[in-house]
């Protein structure tokens, strides 16, 4: 296994896509598809005959080309910035997945290599990094990017025409954007983003359901002024208000302030039962410390990234009893992932760690099924390896063997079943964790089925 940070991979016999992007421009990228394949063996079962059992293309490359020695996945990451405390678990999961895949023989017999670059969750830096990964590092796929990066870069990422299979974004923006629209053999309607983590509509819906069940029918809200923080609140409210909950006051604040007393004063002038906090960790600690100092009371409900010991330590005992809803760890292969993950290192598992494992596993399986590293071929095979009634597999090793035997496969992940919807989304359970003196303790779980009934038809 090889993982690099901020370094270009030295890969021979690959086509530099910069020339294609420059010549084609944003309106003519369609000519790129099919030009960067290594092809499959036309006699090797399903991988090279051009069609899967569901009618989807499973090749996409030029069948006469040789397979590469190395295949690169690019991972934009939060190595710095507001969410850097989550990156170690995500990195370790991806590295563990790459090691496992290479020990199983690698996709198409090649060595899988991960190139990790820092974006600091900044959209402009993310654009630069995505470009570097595709054009300089020759990444066949991207296994990262946050909501705050994807949403403003949406059109650019579509023009890039490289599959993005990411463990990060919760944004409701992606509820009806992304995936293959249920037509894997036809990329004309595709939107090249898939997420292996449940969206905000799902886990914030679980939090809203729990709040209503606990009798909190009136809410106050304080949230940051960035896309991720707004999206979390919007996902919560889409379920909360539709099922009888009322918002008494919502205050939006600039992040990074030294004090939020003024905003809290405005918020707590209203009458409500509980208040929702959607802010990055540093700003949330400031706001919650101000809340504690001001003696405002009432029930805190925290956004998912705040389930950290540091938040309790710095805010103090007033925070005890606050709860967080986060993506559950309900995937059928969680135990398998956990065993391999723990062999890789000791980074703490968070809600985005198992989805990181899933993103690498399922993308490698798509390549194996396609018999090609052509981005369009990968895109066409992400749906087929995650849906349907094929042989159930929980790792790349199992999937590679089944595909070699001419079987169709259905990957079942660590975070969720990873059965991609037409918009490239997944469903899973929601874990409710409560702040106590020793940390956040998992206290209950909202089943995926209970949340799914609240998601509007067609949104997923």
Angle at 413 between CA 407 and CA 419, to 5 degrees: 70
The answer to whether 58 and 371 have CB atoms below 8 angstroms apart is: yes
Per-residue pLDDT reduced to its tens digit, 326-353: 887 779 999 999 999 999 999 999 989 9
Question: What integer pLDDT is reported at residue 223 of this predicted model?
Answer: 97
1-15, 166-180, 241-255: which range is least confident on average?
1-15
Q: For residue 89, how many C-alpha atoms fall within 13 Å in the half-sphere facing its CB?
A: 15
Q: Which residue has the higher pLDDT, 288 or 35?
A: 288
Q: Residue written as tokens 């509007």?
A: 456
The answer to whether 409 and 429 have CB atoms below 8 angstroms apart is: no
The answer to whether 171 and 199 have CB atoms below 8 angstroms apart is: yes
Per-residue pLDDT reduced to its tens digit, 100-154: 999 999 999 999 999 999 999 999 999 999 999 999 999 999 999 999 999 999 9
Contacts of 304 by beta carbon, 8 Å cutoff, 6+ apart = 170, 203, 232, 324, 325, 326, 327, 351
Q: Which residue from 95, 181, 85, 191 is spatially nearest to 143, judged by alpha carbons?
A: 95
**Distance (Å, whole) CA 416 – CA 427:** 7
- Residue 162 — very low, low, confident or very high, per pLDDT cuts 50/70/90? very high
Per-residue pLDDT reduced to its tens digit, 177-228: 999 999 999 999 999 999 999 988 887 888 898 999 999 999 999 999 988 8
Mean pLDDT of the 54-73 span: 61
Whole-number percent of the chain with pLDDT over 70:
84
Q: Residue written as tokens 């990060």?
A: 168
- Residue 44 — very low, low, confident or very high, per pLDDT cuts 50/70/90? very low
**Terminal Cα distance for the chain, rounded:** 35
Question: What integer pLDDT is reported at residue 32 of this predicted model?
Answer: 27
Q: Residue written as tokens 């079942």?
A: 412
**Distance (Å, whole) CA 211 – CA 240:** 8
- Residue 460 — very low, low, confident or very high, per pLDDT cuts 50/70/90? low
Contacts of 453 by beta carbon, 8 Å cutoff, 6+ apart = none
> Secondary structure of the chain in the HEC alphabet?
CEEEECCCCCCCCCCCHHHHHHHHCCCCHHHHCCCCCCCCCCCCHHHCCCCCCCCCCCCCCCCCCCCCCEEEEEEEECCCCCCHHHHHHHHHHHHHHHHHHHHCCCHHHCEEEEEEEECCCCHHHHHHHHHHHHHHCCCCEECCCCHHHHCCCHHHHHHHCCCEEECCCCCHHHHHCCECCCCCCCHHHCECEEECCCCHHHHHHHHHHHHHHCCCCEEEEEEECCHHHHHHHHHHHHHHHHHCCEEEEEEEECCCCCCCHHHHHHHCCCCCCEEEEECCHHHHHHHHHHHHHHCCCCEEEECHHHCCHHHHHHHCHHHCCCEEEEECCCCCCHHHHHHHHHHHCCCCCCCCHHHHHHHHHHHHHHHHHHCCCCHHHHHHHHCCCCCCCCEEECCHHHHHHHHHCCCCEEECCCCCCCCCCCCCCCCCCEEEEEEECCEEEEEEEECHHHHHCCCCCCCC
> Across 36-40, 52-56, 283-287, which has the greatest mean pLDDT?
283-287
**Distance (Å, whole) CA 9 – CA 181:** 33
**Residues paired with 191 in a beta bridge:** 179
- Asked whether the CA dihedral 18, 19, 20, 25 is positive or negative, the reply is positive
R_g over Cα of the chain: 22
Tokens representing 452? 């799914």
């Amino acid at each position: 296994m090889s993982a690099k940070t901020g370094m270009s991979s030295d890969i021979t016999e690959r086509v530099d896509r910069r020339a294609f992007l420059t010549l084609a421009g944003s309106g003519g990228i369609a000519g790129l598809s099919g030009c960067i394949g290594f092809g499959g063996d036309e006699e090797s079962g399903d991988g090279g005959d051009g069609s899967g059992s569901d009618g989807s293309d499973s090749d996409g490359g030029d069948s006469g080309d040789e397979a590469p020695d190395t295949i690169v996945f690019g991972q934009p990451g939060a190595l710095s910035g507001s969410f850097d405390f989550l990156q170690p678990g995500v990195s370790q999961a991806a590295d563990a997945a790459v090691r496992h895949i290479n020990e199983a023989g690698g996709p198409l017999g090649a060595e899988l290599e991960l190139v990790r670059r820092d974006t600091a969750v900044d959209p402009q830096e993310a654009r630069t990094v995505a470009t570097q990964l595709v054009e300089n590092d020759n990444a066949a796929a991207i296994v990262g990017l946050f909501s705050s990066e994807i949403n403003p870069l949406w059109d650019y990422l579509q023009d890039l025409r490289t599959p993005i299979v990411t463990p990060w974004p919760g944004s409701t923006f992606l509820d009806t954007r992304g995936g293959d629209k249920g037509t894997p053999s036809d990329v004309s309607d595709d939107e090249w983003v898939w997420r292996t983590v449940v969206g905000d509509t799902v886990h914030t819906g679980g939090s809203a359901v729990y709040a209503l069940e606990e009798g909190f029918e009136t809410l106050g809200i304080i949230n940051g002024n960035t896309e991720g923080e707004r999206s979390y609140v919007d996902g919560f409210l889409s379920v909360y208000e539709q099922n009888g909950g009322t918002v008494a006051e919502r205050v939006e604040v600039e992040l990074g302030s030294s004090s939020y007393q003024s905003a809290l004063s405005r918020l707590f002038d209203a009458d409500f039962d509980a208040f929702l906090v959607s802010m990055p960790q540093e700003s949330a600690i400031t706001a919650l410390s101000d809340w504690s100092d001001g003696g405002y009371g009432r029930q805190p409900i925290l956004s998912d990234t705040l389930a950290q010991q540091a938040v309790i330590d710095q805010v103090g005992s007033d925070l005890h009893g606050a709860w967080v809803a986060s993506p559950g760890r309900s995937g059928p292969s969680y135990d398998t992932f956990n065993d391999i993950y723990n062999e890789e290192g000791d980074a703490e598992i968070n809600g985005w760690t198992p989805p990181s494992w899933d993103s690498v596993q399922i993308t490698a399986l798509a390549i194996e099924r396609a018999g090609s590293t052509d981005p369009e071929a990968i895109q066409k095979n992400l749906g087929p390896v995650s849906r349907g009634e094929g042989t159930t597999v929980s790792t790349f090793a199992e999937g590679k063997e089944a595909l070699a035997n001419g079987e169709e496969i259905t990957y079942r992940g660590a975070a969720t079943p990873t059965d991609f919807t037409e918009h490239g989304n997944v469903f899973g359970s929601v874990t409710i964790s409560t702040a106590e003196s020793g940390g956040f303790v998992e206290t209950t779980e909202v089943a995926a089925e209970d949340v799914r009934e609240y998601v509007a038809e067609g949104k997923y």
